[in-house]
Amino acid sequence: MVRLPGRPETRPPRPFGVPRAPQGPRREGSGANGGRPGVLRSAVTGRSVAGQVFLLQVVIVLLLVVSAVVAQVLQVQHDSNREARNRSLAVAETFANAPGTAAALRAPDPTAILQPKAEAARKGSGVDFIVVMDTDGIRYTHPKPDRIGKKFVGTVGPALAGGTVIEEVHGTIGELVQVVVPVKDAGGKVVGLVSAGITTAHVGGTADQQLPLLLAAAAAALVLATAGTALVSRRLLRQTHGLGPYEMTRMYEHHDAVLHAVREGVLIVGGDGRLLLANDEAQRLLDLPEDAEQRHVLELGLDDETAGLLASGRVATDEVHLVKDRLLAINQRPTDLRGGPPGSVTTLRDSTELRALSGRAEVARERLNMLYDAGVGIGTSLDVARTAGELAELAVPRFADFVTVDLFDAVLNGEEPRPGTALRRAACSGIRGDAPLYPVGERIRFVATSPQARSLTTGQSVVEPVLRAAPGWLAQDAERTEQVVAYGIHSLITVPLRAGSLVLGLANFWRSEKPQPFDAEELALAEELVARAAVSIDNARRYTREHSMAVTLQRSLLPRSVPEQGALEIAYRYLPAHSGVGGDWFDVLPLSGARVALVVGDVVGHGLHAAATMGRLRTAVHNFSALDLPPDELLGLLDELVGRIDQDETPADGAAAVVGATCLYAVYDPVSRHCTLARAGHPPPALVHPDGRVEFPDVPAGPPLGLGGLPFETADLELAEGSRLVLYTDGLVEDRDRDIDVGFDLLCDALRRAPDASPEDTCRAVLDRLPNRPSDDIALIVAKTRVLGAGRVAEWQVPSDPAAVSQVRSSVTRQLAVWSLDELSFATELILSELVTNAVRYGRGPIGVRLLRDRALICEVSDGSTTSPHLRYAASTDEGGRGLFLVAQLADRWGTRYTPNGKIIWAEQPLP
């Protein structure tokens, strides 16, 4: 047992928790062994345990008394209500079933018979009223005669049905219980009602008789509580101030056992800085010498910071100090706050293991956060290289100092990887940008002994804790690996990017700043990160493959080059969307008479189905344009075609059907400089005049193709030579991030900035103002108009007379001589002779002949008939029918087109 200094051995020190004895002189009748008044004073004040016990007992007794009174009152009320119900029900049923009651209700004057009986029964039974009434609730009896003949106030419905009504109401005489019972005749029919009631106050009164008894019991309980408290207080005071040797020894033994058994160190330092007490745990934690007690804390060999804290006596709460190899949490409080001796009490707690556990928990939490961030941050796009870069950026610097991702070239192109081929560095991220690692884009072939090659071969992760001592890795590239080691990179984890049975590449994690090598826990984290990234990379690879296939299909359906023609100078662009493929298309179609048709269209939706539908529509436009139909009629045929596609085809696997398409069709005639346009739900074209003015012609907007129901209208424009007609799809002017009006303004601005530009330069200027990755397909055609001058056109009017054919031949021969085309005179004369003869014979006037010298020699014969000639193969005995056959043999192409005033039969011959 530790003895505190400064106190004689015959009087042991006051233990913790024992109140200090009074220091003043004792007075008669007070103190520990004094009379009862001191005890009562201590109890009444409530400052001692006895006083608190006394107050607690008084409160308990008062609560019991109040509870008993309340319970008694409630019980009395309950009994009163039950008694009132029973008495009222008994009186009502007795009166209702009394002999003569049912007969009296049928008498001429029931009141005269029943009123005396009801009053006599009321007085005899002690109820407040007995009311007899008919089935309508009209009273026959009542204690107050003036209320006879009036309607009863209460519920009578259940009683009329043969039941009983018991209800509590607030009447003029107070709270009462009334009962309504039926009066039945011999046949069980209800002939009247009887109601009896009594106020609850008339059946009470028991509570007033029992309340004095309760109060007397409460007073007796208070007296007994006071006496008991006095006895307890006297015993407590005697135990605290009159402890015997045995009791004091036992108290000190318990105090010493507890003090030295706790797992916290306890130090008591006096006001002079000397150590008064140190338990076993404190001696172990601080490694104190055996004679530490009574020595100054600065002489105990502690570190300056900890010794200074113990000597200062200041308040400290959970201050962490490094003592030897332990982290100690120190709490310190002074002992003189409430009149105690000067000094301080200090507790010590070893938090080394707790800090280590907390550090491991923090590391685990950070790893969980990293895995969560990997789930939401890797795979945000369907780009293989971008996904690889997201993995590298996520792991630096949270997990590794440098991260590189190497993929097979086939993976980058969307194909399945081919083992045995070289890898290409797809991503690289690090805390610095000057690391001597292979750069992005470098093609790498790993040697068989390298950890990367072993990981690819086995499909397992490889850890190289010390790169300087890894001969397999050093053999990869002696010069570069030496630079990597010299740079400070000392540890490596290589993890294969596995997606199912496919190994897409490798992820390499390099460490340079942290001196410890990678361990098994970090390897598991790296594998988890790479597993999540591999799924995203494989998804991006599959998307790249499907997107490439769709783009390839779409480009195969678009024109690879525009046909040669002399009416327009053409430039075009096609840009696929950033994600998916659409149904945008364009075409340039030479027509008869040196005319050219321009078409742009857009199928609603994206994907392979939209691209295939676009190919079908483009083929249909080719076929319809061969018929030389006006733009509005051609769009009408396309509208029917799209409608049939929607009706006849049932989408598979929940895919969306084609719900329409848009189209703009324009025909330009270089002779008349007229351009005829029609559009079906498509944006209007832009027209750039030779002087640089930009406008959007007012072309009637028809409904999109496939809706049907409304006709299409055309617009006729006369274009000056050198005008630029710009046709486009909605992806050029419409985007998710801007309004379509803003797109039109940007297009106007781009066209206005290049007034004299060529079509090629115009395309470049327009697309330069677009975002790098359009969200929708874009098809763009810029056509600069040319004019077929009068020197290259010859026209004649022919009378409806067969003799005029010879004159036409002569005129044509002279014109061909002027154009230096004498070699074509014979064939041209023969073609025109047949065509003009057919027009004179089968057609009607006016008849005209026109020669056009363009890239070919074009012969046209027009008349006012709409009957189309047909090619026939005449028999050897036929006299006619060989004219069109000769025309077909002499001309490269021939055909018929209809005009508002008739038809034109034309034939083309190549120029020599």
CB 506 within 8 A of CB 526: no
CB 458 within 8 A of CB 451: no
* DSSP annotation string for 763-800: HHHHHTTS-SS-SS-EEEEEEEE----GGGEEEEEE-S
Q: What digits encode the pLDDT tens for the residues 532-588?
A: 999 999 999 988 888 777 777 777 777 777 888 888 999 998 887 766 667 788 999
Q: What digits encode the pLDDT tens for the residues 232-244?
A: 656 655 554 445 5
User: Would you state the torsion angle of the CA atoms of residues 816, 817, 821, 826, taken in this order, to the nearest 10 degrees?
Assistant: 70
pLDDT at 890 over 70: yes
CB 666 within 8 A of CB 676: yes
Reported residue count of the chain is 912
At 461 the pLDDT is: 94
Phi, psi for 205 (deg, rounded to 5): 105, -10
Give which of 284, 308, 288, 283 is closest to 298, Cα–Cα. 308
Structure tokens at 368: 């969980």
CB 437 within 8 A of CB 404: yes
Of 756 and 250, the one with more pLDDT: 756
Q: What digits encode the pLDDT tens for the residues 65-103?
A: 677 777 777 777 777 778 888 888 888 888 888 888 888
3-state class of 505 per DSSP? strand
User: Which stretch, 32-36, 55-59, 657-661, has highest mean pLDDT?
Assistant: 55-59
Q: How far apart are CA 20 and CA 240, in angstroms?
A: 9
Q: What percent of the chain has pLDDT over 90?
A: 25
Handedness of CA 212, 218, 224, 227 (dihedral sign): negative
Helix axes 825-842, 804-818, angle to 10 degrees: 150
| 3-class SS shares of the chain: helix, strand, coil, % to 5 | 40, 25, 35
Phi, psi for 384 (deg, rounded to 5): -65, -50
pLDDT at 739 over 60: yes
Q: Report the mean per-residue pLDDT for the chain.
A: 81
In terms of Cβ atoms closer than 10 Å to its own Cβ (0-12, 13-18, 19+), residue 226 is middle
Per-residue exposure over 353-365, b if at least 16 CB sit within 10 Å of its own CB, e if not: eeeeeeeeeeeee
In the chain, the N- to C-terminal Cα span, in Å, equals 133
Average pLDDT on 786-804 reads: 88
Angle at 384 between CA 490 and CA 605, to 5 degrees: 165
pLDDT at 259 over 60: yes
Of 754 and 344, the one with more pLDDT: 344
**Cβ-based neighbours of 656, under 8 Å, separated by 6 or more:** 605, 609
* DSSP annotation string for 248-311: HHHHHHHHHHHHHHSSSEEEEEETTSBEEEE-HHHHHHHT--TT-TTSBGGGS---HHHHHHHH
Label residue 338 by pLDDT band (50, 70, 90).
Answer: confident
pLDDT at 31 over 60: no
Q: What percent of the chain has pLDDT over 70?
A: 83
Give which of 227, 217, 205, 206 is closest to 66, Cα–Cα. 217
At 505 the pLDDT is: 94
CB 857 within 8 A of CB 592: no
pLDDT at 849 over 50: yes
CB 348 within 8 A of CB 286: yes
CB 523 within 8 A of CB 476: no
**Judging by DSSP bridges, how do beta strands 724-728 and 686-688 pair with one another?**
antiparallel
> Which residue in this structure is represented by tokens 């507790």?
347
pLDDT at 44 over 90: no
Q: How far apart are CA 523 and CA 590, in angstroms?
A: 67
Give which of 816, 844, 847 is closest to 830, Cα–Cα. 816
Handedness of CA 811, 812, 813, 819 (dihedral sign): positive
CB 701 within 8 A of CB 750: no
Give which of 266, 421, 290 is closest to 343, Cα–Cα. 266
At 465 the pLDDT is: 92
3-state class of 817 per DSSP? helix
At 679 the pLDDT is: 94
Give which of 100, 99, 110 is closest to 134, Cα–Cα. 110
pLDDT at 51 over 80: no
The kind and range of the H/E element at 571 are strand 568-575
3-state class of 658 per DSSP? coil
The kind and range of the H/E element at 391 are helix 384-395
At 669 the pLDDT is: 93
Model pTM score? 0.53
**Cβ-based neighbours of 416, under 8 Å, separated by 6 or more:** 410, 502
At 633 the pLDDT is: 92
At 1 the pLDDT is: 36
Of 195 and 753, the one with more pLDDT: 195
Give which of 487, 405, 386, 485 is closest to 444, Cα–Cα. 405
Handedness of CA 280, 286, 290, 291 (dihedral sign): negative
Strands laid side by side in the 190-199 sheet = 129-133, 190-199, 174-184, 165-171
Amino acid at 329: A
**Cβ-based neighbours of 550, under 8 Å, separated by 6 or more:** 580, 581, 607, 608, 611
The kind and range of the H/E element at 887 are helix 883-890
Kindly state the DSSP code that residue 688 receives in the 8-state scheme.
Answer: E
- Other beta carbons less than 10 A from residue 818's beta carbon: 10
- Asked, as a colleague might, if the bond just before 397 is cis with ω within 30 of 0, I would say yes
